[in-house]
Chains A and B, each alone.
Chain A
Amino acid sequence: MSGRSPTPQPSADLIEEAAAWLAALDAGTASDAAFATWRDADARHAVAFAEVASTWRDLDALRLVAGERDSLPTAAAAPTRPGRRHVLRAAASVAAVMAVGGGLAYRGEARETISTRVGERRSVAAAPSITLDVNTDSEVRWRAGRPFRLWLERGEMAIRLGRGEQAALCVPAGTFRLAPGRYNARLRGESCELAVITGAITDAASGRLGAGEIALLSGDTLGAVVPRAADLPRVTAWQRDTLMLSGESLDYALAEMNRYLPHKIVIGDPALSRLRLGGTFATTSPAEFLRALHASFGIEATTGRGGGIVLTRA
């Protein structure tokens, strides 16, 4: 592996170069020092490597959903190559993406656990004035004490801390301190989306997220996040068993809806995935959602033998 070429190159070739570095690092055949020399030689090398590493990381999601494949229906758009069929089926369950890193390291000391099946929602009073509301297909652990510690292992939860209560929330991205208030935490791939309904979240580096703000975190600091205020009703909609959409793609809508459904809805006609939807739908049953799709776009829903629902154009 020789990548010490400081001469300018078209970015497509840099991608190949960066991919070669990543493959070599992954296989353990490249030295970290040689790699650092290459990366630091040109900012465009670092850009290309970040882009490659990004796709590399995204591919991890395929592995995580692969474990869920047995419970999934066969998509109508299923592939014909037998060797890969199970993978594509797994891909239908976009909703099943889970956190990748850190799981083992940070759960060791947890004491209590609550988990939910697909479509289930549970509430628990983890301490006299600490309430956890756990969304579908989720797992939460906690340990009483000072501070009260919470681990979001999978899925999504709402946290309510009464007066005088504080908590340390551990997610793969890092550990965050929650003041008394109401919060929503959801794992999205390797990232964690934290929303402050009331109260405040701080990190170890004194970054702060205030009431009404939402951040998608991939690291343990709040310093580089974009807080936004407009989405709180949508973030908390699940607690009312609803899904709120405003212009998202059908792909996204299905990923959200499928989180709640044991029998997943899949797109049978790829052209449909770019449709954009708005509205509020019940997550307890897909019927209303499917009716809206039919009324607005003429989309037909066919229930397969396994119970899965395939969408096609009429």
Chain B
Amino acid sequence: MSWLRDIDRWFMAEVLPHAAAYRARAAHLCGADEADDLVQEAYARVLGSQNHQAILAPRAFTLTVVHHLALERLRRAQVVRIELLASMQLLEVADSAPDAFAVAAGRSELRRLEQLMATLPPQCARVLHMRKVQGMAPAAIAEALSISLSTVEKHIAKGLALMIKARRADEAQAEEACPVVPPHRSRALT
């Protein structure tokens, strides 16, 4: 994919695989409703950084950004209890980096990808399958299915977007796995 910059490749390889951890951290700090938004904001900060090569521990770095953004938001919010803010500042930001095994396992969840693909609208699934599993060129798919190239594009775009949203939903579920703050505290935030 020549349309990716160095920083994009780095971001995809080093930052995105830990999405569930960022979301979990964000949800515990700001509540589940704001978690996605907070993580997206953190991503934008990380991807907007001028010198990503200097970031030695991307996962920990991103978690720290999430943490700081959460603090900023909480300071702006009116209803936060003082002791909560205090406990947040004491929270250990450092995060034991997951081993490469967990990352790789998370990234190669082929079975899950397959399940997601099976839930797509039939034509979306068919086109994505032809493109990614059978490796057919977009133009060849258009010809085989007697549809226009732009329709092929639309199916691919729609299918991809649906799969990504479903993967995000998976991450939201995964956050149960690593509580940082006792649940009753984070509930007080919302």
Q: Which residues of A contact B (CB under 8 A)?
A: 11-12, 15-16, 19-20, 22-29, 32, 35, 42-44, 46-47, 49-63, 65-66, 79, 81, 83-84, 87-88, 90-92, 94, 97, 188-189, 191, 193, 214-216, 218-219, 221, 223-226, 228, 230-231, 234, 248-249, 251-252, 255, 267, 273
Are B40's CB and A44's CB within 8 A? yes
B109-130 contacts to A, CB under 8 A, are 109-111, 113-114, 117-118, 125-126, 128-129
Question: What's the Cα separation between A72 and B40 when bound, in Å?
Answer: 40
Min CB distance B26 to A, Å, is 13
Q: Is B53 in the interface zone, CB < 8 Å from A?
A: yes
Q: Interface residues of B: mostly helix, strand, loop or mixed?
A: helix
Which residues of B lie under 8 Å from residue A55 when comparing CB positions? Answer: 160, 163-164, 167
The winner among A50, A88, A191, A219 for most chain B CB atoms within 10 A is A50
B11, B101, B135, B163: residue with the most chain A Cβ atoms closer than 10 Å = B101
Using Cβ atoms and an 8 Å threshold, which residues of chain B touch A50?
Answer: 4, 8, 11-12, 16, 43, 47
What's the Cα separation between A264 and B131 when bound, in Å?
Answer: 27
Query: Given contacts A53-B8, A216-B100, A252-B105, is CB(A62)–CB(B110) below 8 Å?
Result: yes
Among the interface residues B4, B45, B157, which one has the most CB atoms of the partner chain A within 10 A? B157
Q: Do B102 and A27 have beta carbons less than 8 Å apart?
A: no
B58 at the A interface (CB under 8 A): yes
A residues less than 8 Å from B102 (CB atoms)? 248, 252
Q: How far is the CA of A153 from the CA of B132 in the complex (A)?
A: 21
User: Considering the chains assembled together, what is the distance between the CA atoms of A218 and B100 in angstroms?
Assistant: 12
Most chain B CB neighbours (cut-off 10 Å) among A55, A219, A224: A224
CB<8 Å pairs between A and B, sample of 6? A11-B36, A47-B44, A52-B164, A53-B4, A62-B117, A84-B129
State how many angstroms separate the Cβ of B53 from the closest Cβ of chain A. 5
Q: Are A87 and B114 in contact (CB under 8 A)?
A: yes
Q: How far is the CB of A1 from chain B (nearest CB, A)?
A: 8
B53 touches A58 (CB 8 A): no
Stretch at the interface among B71-79, B80-88, B145-153, B180-188: B145-153
The minimal Cβ–Cβ distance linking A6 to chain B, given in whole angstroms, is 14
Establish whether residues B104 and A191, one from each chain, have CB atoms under 8 Å apart when the complex forms.
Answer: yes
Contact in complex: B16, A79 (CB < 8 Å):
no
Instruction: Give the docked Cα–Cα distance between A53 and B163 (Å).
Output: 12
Q: Tally B residues with Cβ within 8 Å of A.
A: 69
A221 CA to B53 CA, complexed, in Å:
9
Apart from A22-B157, A29-B153, A225-B14: 6 A-B pairs, beta carbons within 8 A: A28-B138, A46-B44, A50-B8, A79-B118, A219-B6, A249-B105
Cβ distance B130 to chain A, nearest Cβ, rounded Å = 11
Which residues of chain B come closer than 8 Å to A25, judged between CB atoms? 3
B37 within 8 A of A: yes
With A19-B158, A63-B133 in contact, do A226 and B59 touch (Cβ < 8 Å)? yes
Known: A11-B40, A22-B157. Is A62-B132 also a contact (CB below 8 A)?
Answer: yes
Contact between chains at A84 and B100 (CB < 8 Å)? no
Q: Which residues of A contact B111 (CB under 8 A)?
A: 88, 91-92, 94, 251, 267, 273
- Known A12-B165, A50-B12, A226-B58: A188·B100 in contact at CB below 8 Å: yes
Binary CB contact string for chain B from 159 to 175 against chain A (1 if under 8 A, 0 otherwise): 01101110100000000
What residues on B are CB-neighbors of A218 within 8 Å? 9-10, 12-14
Provide the bound-state CA to CA distance between A214 and B101, in Å: 11
Chain B residues within 8 Å of A224, by CB: 10, 14, 52-53, 55-56, 58
A62 engages B133 (CB within 8 Å) = yes
Residue of B nearest to A26 (CB): B138
Assess the B99–A230 pair: CB atoms within 8 A: yes
**How far, in whole Å, are A239 and B107 apart by their CA atoms in the complex?**
25
B37 proximity list for chain A (CB < 8 A): 11
Cβ of A57 and Cβ of B101 under 8 Å apart? no
A23→B110 contact, CB < 8 A: no
B44-75 CB mask vs A (1 if < 8 Å, else 0) is 11011000110111110000000000000000
